[in-house]
Amino acid sequence: MKDVMESWQFWATMAACFAALTAIFAKVGIENINSDFATFIRTAIIFVMVFAILMIGGHWQDPATVSGKTWWFLILSGLATGASWLCYFRALKIGEASKVAPIDKLSVVLIAIFGAAFLGEKLSPTSWVGVVMIGSGAALIAWKG
């Protein structure tokens, strides 16, 4: 069991499960609230939860030990996350969760493209077929036709 808990596959699967729950809970939760304010509430809860996990697990790190490069990229990542959440909640407010979530997951396609273009990651031809299938699947689910 320890090997499973230390595998990236386990944690990625858990992330997908919680992301699915996020879409369902958020769709119900934003019914009578502004989507931006809902994002604020969600973010505050995440902040408290992660802080508690850091303290309980003894993983707090002195911010002064973090390099300047790391700070900049984490700041950029945080800004991108915030923008993503604001857009996602706005889309959920006006659209169906079953159609919004697959379009949101086109991030998988973009990550593959950006990873190859900017990080030099190499995907096999089979992996590229999978990327195309993910994109095609998201388009088919969201298509109104």
At residue 94, the pLDDT reads 93
For residue 88, the one-letter residue type is Y
Burial 82-98 (b: 16+ CB within 10 A, else e): eeebbebbbbbbeeebe
Q: Tell me, what's the pLDDT at 6?
A: 86
Q: What is the largest CA-CA distance in the chain?
A: 54
How confident is the model at residue 4, as a pLDDT?
A: 80
Domain ranges of the chain: 2-96, 105-145
Helix axis angle for 35-57 and 8-29, nearest 10°, is 140
For every residue of 37-48, DSSP letters joined together read HHHHHHHHHHHH
Q: Can you give the pLDDT of all 145 residues of the chain as single tens digits?
A: 778 888 999 989 998 899 899 889 999 999 999 999 999 999 999 999 999 999 999 999 999 999 999 999 999 999 999 999 999 999 999 999 989 988 998 999 999 999 999 999 999 999 999 999 999 999 898 876 5
